[in-house]
Amino acid sequence: MALVVFSSELQLFTGEECTHVEAARFKEIVAELVDKYESLTEEKLMEMAVAIDGEIIHTPFLEVVGEDSELHFLHRISGG
């Protein structure tokens, strides 16, 4: 099961720091999370970037998530 760690901002929606999710791909993880947390929307999650095992992905969607992967949702970074 992949470990999903929530930012303090997302914790406002989830009420917990992390959770384990059983899913093979990122979009399915999002579906699981939206199911699990009532106030968390797909839109909210999809507008964020994600770091899967430390690699920051700005527009995640089809990413394959490993059994022991660690996921962090974070704000998309832009730049100057």
Partner 1 sequence: MSEAQEFKYIGQRTIRPDGYDKVTGRAQYGADLSLPGMIWGRTLRSPHAHAKIVSIDTSKAEAHPDVFAVVTFKDFGSVEGESINAGEGAADVLDLARNCLADDKVLYHGHAIAAVAARTERAADDALDLIDVKYEVLSPVMDVEDAMKEGAPVLHEDMFTQGYEETPSTPSNIATRLEMKMGDIEAGFAEADVIVEREFRTPTAHQGYIEPHACTARYDEDGQSMVWCCTQGHFDVRTSTAKLLGLDLSKLKVVASEIGGGFGGKTVVYQEPVALALSRKAGRPVKMVMNRDEVFIATGPTSAAKLKAKVGAKKDGTITAMQGWMAYEAGAFKGSPMMPGVMTMFTPYDCGNVQVEGFDVVVNKSKVAAYRAPGAPQAEFAAEMVVNEVAEKIGMDPIELRLKNAAKEGTQTIYGPKLKTVGLIECLEAARDSDHYKSALADGCGRGIAAGFWFNIGGQSSVSINMNTDGTGTILEGSPDIGGSRASMQMMAAEVLQIEPSNLKPIVADTDSLPYSQGTGGSRVTFATGMAVIEAAEDVVKQIKERAAAIWNVTAEQVDYADGVAINTAGEEKMSLAEVCQAAEKTGGQISGTGNINARGAGPSFAVHLCDTKVDQETGKVDVVRYTAIQDAGKAIHPSYVEGQFQGGAVQGIGWALNEEYIFNDDGVMENPGFLDYRIPLASDLPMIETIIVEVPNSFHPYGVRGVGESGIIPPLAAVGWSVGDAIDRKVEELPCSPPRVLSLIQNG
Q: Which is nearer to partner 1, 23 or 46 (CB)?
A: 46
78 belongs to the binding site for partner 1 (CB under 8 A): yes
58 belongs to the binding site for partner 1 (CB under 8 A): yes
Distances (CA, A) of 49 to 3, 23, 72: 16, 18, 8
37 belongs to the binding site for partner 1 (CB under 8 A): no
11 phi and psi angles, rounded to 5 deg: -65, -25
Segment interacting with partner 1 (CB under 8 A) among 19-27, 29-37, 48-56: 48-56
CB 72 within 8 A of CB 17: no
